[in-house]
Chain A
Amino acid sequence: MKSNQNPQHITRENVPDEWFTWREKNVKELEMVSRPSLSYWKDAWRRLRKNYLAMAGLIFLILLIIMAIFGPIVSPYDANKQSLSEQYQPPSAEHWFGTDGAGRDVFTRTWHGARISLFVGFMAALIDVTIGIIWGGISGYKGGRTDNVMMRIIEILYGIPYLLVVILLLVVMGPSLTTIIIALTVTGWVGMARIVRGQVMQIKNYEYVLASKSFGTKTPRIIRKGLLPNTMGPIIVQMTLTVPSAIFAEAFLSFIGLGISSPNASWGVMANDSLGAILSGNWWTLFFPAFFISFTMFAFNVLGDGLQDALDPKLRK
């Protein structure tokens, strides 16, 4: 391109006379070269796509969800069918992930466990977000005394050790899928509420919100149209961190005897059941649930990191 415009032999000493004519349409040309402006979400997506680790995490999670849905259907085995003759079969063409101590197919159980673990994770995150947005949104938007009271409550709840309360509630309610999700969300929403409040407080003073206020727009509409879309970034990031922590908490609870009871095995239950087996050499019974717990957490973590970088407006240029 350069050589088209400026052939080599022309230097500033010997420019031809005919170049000394006025130039037209300067400004138009300027607009042509300026880079296209991208919307917030498009821009964030463009940046996320460049983060290979985060994309790998995202793809892993999508595959996992697909397998959680279709894995148990596709597999010829029943997740809970015990078979003493098939105890501790190593991975083979028949049993891809081997069988466990009760002769159950680990491959089928892994995807079955994925359903439960992901369900717990996503439900916990969803409930946290719902309560957190309502609480944090009202607290941050109203401000003043309302905010003060709501924040005091949050401060008190924040001090309560999360897992201890979960344990206490599960001891009382008895462990089941529902009670685990309830227990995980009883104090879990507090972090989300704090984040939403902080965001709302910051944004509500921006000109565009003040402007719509002065036009007499009603409060719920301002919250829905003006504030929420702009607080989505940190909320999404927080969600990607809530899901794995719920999955981890569920695995932890299984371990201390408060997990979802068999035969409805989650990954945590599977791993807990197999802790002894690894010492007797039947590594696959622990490996697959442990691998998927760890990799799911890993995937959410790198995706969360990537989203944080991608959605942070400070990094936009």
Chain B
Amino acid sequence: MEKILEVKDLHVTFTTYGGTVQAVRGVDFHLNKGETLAIVGESGCGKSVTSNAIMRLIPSPPGKITAGKILFKGKDLAKESEKKMRQVRGVDISMIFQDPMTALNPTLTIGTQLIEGLKQHRKITDSEAKKRALEMMDLVGIPNPAERMKQYPHQFSGGMRQRIVIAIALICEPELLIADEPTTALDVTIQAQILELFEKIQDVTGVSIILITHDLGVVAKIADRIAVMYAGKIIETGTKREIFYEPQHPYTKGLLNSVPRLDTKGRLKPIDGTPPDLFSPPEGCPFTARCPFAMEVCNKVYPKSSNLSDSHSVDCWLQDERAKQLLATMVTN
């Protein structure tokens, strides 16, 4: 399969008054053409920073990509000039934001906001642009598009606004769509509709999607593969089936146990504690302090990646033979 995006050893830091925050600490993942990758994690784990880094939308200063590669169709976006990046944004890669209530400019009409990206990147007449905008509004399911184009964001409901944001993102036919918590700010019923819309547009346009979320319910519905992120690192990655049915990392297991499921009995179990302070991230595995299976080694050295299949890999010392022996002794005792 063709890899459309490959992120290698990405590091992002933020310099603040309190010190330097290592928000992303060596992230590797890739995205195949036409698939949906979900990046899952608690808030503050670096998933949004990662997605912004791909778009090179990290405010600088204070943010900075300190190392790593972002290969989009073989081209390293981490090294592109701002001017070149402007030709990537909206055209090759588009982005959808969490809160549709704030993502649209309250003082401009929907039509203006839809068309301006198109006018920026394509040599196109106003009537052609308008025609294309109407098509897009139709695609994302907005009734009376011609009339609605003249209206302002406050005249739309949250769900409708998110549809418009999606239409804006797709209007230049990008190959990659990054959706940062696209359903978090919406009602549950609206969430389902928006997720269906994602499936529909993927069918229609063949766009590849990176979905940033903390909501495993969303992931279960539309992701092909899942990357679990914790404290600035991807700790486990695999297909949806592998992550849901054979989770290896205690954190992934914890995440799954904190989500209501039909097939498990017993109580929901939240993960105790909070993620570590990324001003001074721990030397070892960042989950050590919260991990029910923590060993002395975990706090001292970061585990190496273990590949369980072509698609499934995990960073955890429990994969080490010695840990498996320790587990075995515990079971026999």
Given a CB threshold of 8 Å, the question of whether A touches B is answered with yes
Chain A residue nearest in CB terms to B330: A22
Query: What is the bound-complex CA distance between A13 and B297, given in angstroms?
Result: 12
Q: Across the interface, which residues of B come within 8 angstroms of A34, CB to CB?
A: 274, 277
CB-CB under 8 A for A21 and B283, given A10-B301, A12-B301, A29-B289: no
Q: What 1/0 flags go to B256-287 for Cβ under 8 Å of A?
A: 00000000000000001110110000010000
Asked if A23 and B274 make an inter-chain contact with CB atoms under 8 angstroms apart, the answer reads no
B322 contacts the other chain (Cβ, under 8 Å)? yes
Asked if A30 and B302 make an inter-chain contact with CB atoms under 8 angstroms apart, the answer reads no
A27 contacts the other chain (Cβ, under 8 Å)? yes
Closest approach, in angstroms, between the C-beta of B78 and any C-beta of chain A? 26
Asked if B304 and A21 make an inter-chain contact with CB atoms under 8 angstroms apart, the answer reads no
Q: What 1/0 flags go to B284-299 for Cβ under 8 Å of A?
A: 0000111101111111
Q: Across the interface, which residues of A come within 8 angstroms of B283, CB to CB?
A: 2, 5-6
Interface centre among A5, A12, A20, A33 (most CB of B within 10 A): A20
Closest approach, in angstroms, between the C-beta of A17 and any C-beta of chain B? 6
User: Total interface residues on A, using CB and 8 Å?
Assistant: 23
Query: What is the bound-complex CA distance between A313 and B272, given in angstroms?
Result: 27
Asked if A21 and B274 make an inter-chain contact with CB atoms under 8 angstroms apart, the answer reads no
Residue from B273, B277, B291, B300 in contact with A19 in the complex, judged by beta carbons closer than 8 Å: B300
Q: What 1/0 flags go to A13-53 for Cβ under 8 Å of B?
A: 10101111111001101100111000000000000001000
Q: Which of A141-163 contact B (CB under 8 A)?
A: none
Closest approach, in angstroms, between the C-beta of A9 and any C-beta of chain B? 12
CB-CB under 8 A for A12 and B291, given A21-B326, A23-B296, A34-B277: no
Residue from B274, B294, B300 in contact with A26 in the complex, judged by beta carbons closer than 8 Å: B294
Residue from B17, B274, B290, B326 in contact with A20 in the complex, judged by beta carbons closer than 8 Å: B326
Q: Across the interface, which residues of A come within 8 angstroms of B325, CB to CB?
A: 20
A214 contacts the other chain (Cβ, under 8 Å)? no
A11 contacts the other chain (Cβ, under 8 Å)? yes
Q: What 1/0 flags go to B304-333 for Cβ under 8 Å of A?
A: 100000000000010010110110000000
Residue from A5, A27, A30, A33 in contact with B300 in the complex, judged by beta carbons closer than 8 Å: A5
Residue from A11, A18, A20 in contact with B323 in the complex, judged by beta carbons closer than 8 Å: A20
Residue from A11, A30, A50 in contact with B273 in the complex, judged by beta carbons closer than 8 Å: A30
Asked if B302 and A23 make an inter-chain contact with CB atoms under 8 angstroms apart, the answer reads no
CB-CB under 8 A for A15 and B301, given A20-B320, A21-B326: yes
B303 contacts the other chain (Cβ, under 8 Å)? yes
Query: What is the bound-complex CA distance between A192 and B77, given in angstroms?
Result: 52
Q: What 1/0 flags go to A154-175 for Cβ under 8 Å of B?
A: 0000000000000000000000
Closest approach, in angstroms, between the C-beta of B102 and any C-beta of chain A? 15
Closest approach, in angstroms, between the C-beta of A193 and any C-beta of chain B? 29
Query: What is the bound-complex CA distance between A27 and B298, given in angstroms?
Result: 15
Query: What is the bound-complex CA distance between A35 and B326, given in angstroms?
Result: 34
Size bracket of the B interface:
20 to 34
CB-CB under 8 A for A19 and B289, given A6-B300, A10-B301, A50-B17: no
Query: What is the bound-complex CA distance between A35 and B304, given in angstroms?
Result: 30
Q: Across the interface, which residues of B come within 8 angstroms of A33, CB to CB?
A: 276-277, 289
CB-CB under 8 A for A27 and B273, given A20-B295, A20-B322, A50-B17: yes
Chain A residue nearest in CB terms to B16: A317
CB-CB under 8 A for A15 and B298, given A5-B283, A30-B290: no
Asked if A19 and B276 make an inter-chain contact with CB atoms under 8 angstroms apart, the answer reads no
Closest approach, in angstroms, between the C-beta of A169 and any C-beta of chain B? 42
Query: What is the bound-complex CA distance between A12 and B283, given in angstroms?
Result: 11
Asked if A15 and B297 make an inter-chain contact with CB atoms under 8 angstroms apart, the answer reads yes
Residue from A12, A26, A27, A29 in contact with B304 in the complex, judged by beta carbons closer than 8 Å: A12
Query: What is the bound-complex CA distance between A49 and B194, given in angstroms?
Result: 48
Q: Which of A64-101 contact B (CB under 8 A)?
A: none
Query: What is the bound-complex CA distance between A29 and B296, given in angstroms?
Result: 13
Query: What is the bound-complex CA distance between A125 and B289, given in angstroms?
Result: 52
Chain A residue nearest in CB terms to B322: A20
Query: What is the bound-complex CA distance between A19 and B303, given in angstroms?
Result: 13
Closest approach, in angstroms, between the C-beta of A36 and any C-beta of chain B? 13
CB-CB under 8 A for A15 and B294, given A20-B323, A27-B273, A35-B277: no
Closest approach, in angstroms, between the C-beta of A34 and any C-beta of chain B? 7
Residue from B274, B289, B302 in contact with A12 in the complex, judged by beta carbons closer than 8 Å: B302
Query: What is the bound-complex CA distance between A79 and B322, given in angstroms?
Result: 89
Closest approach, in angstroms, between the C-beta of B71 and any C-beta of chain A? 26
Interchain residue pairs A-B with the least CB separation, the first 3: A19-B297, A23-B294, A30-B289
8 cross-chain CB contacts under 8 A: A15-B297, A20-B297, A20-B325, A23-B294, A23-B295, A23-B296, A27-B289, A34-B274
Known: A12-B302, A19-B296. 17 other contacts (CB 8 A): A5-B300, A6-B300, A11-B301, A12-B303, A13-B304, A18-B296, A19-B297, A20-B296, A20-B297, A20-B323, A20-B326, A23-B294, A23-B298, A27-B272, A29-B289, A30-B273, A50-B17
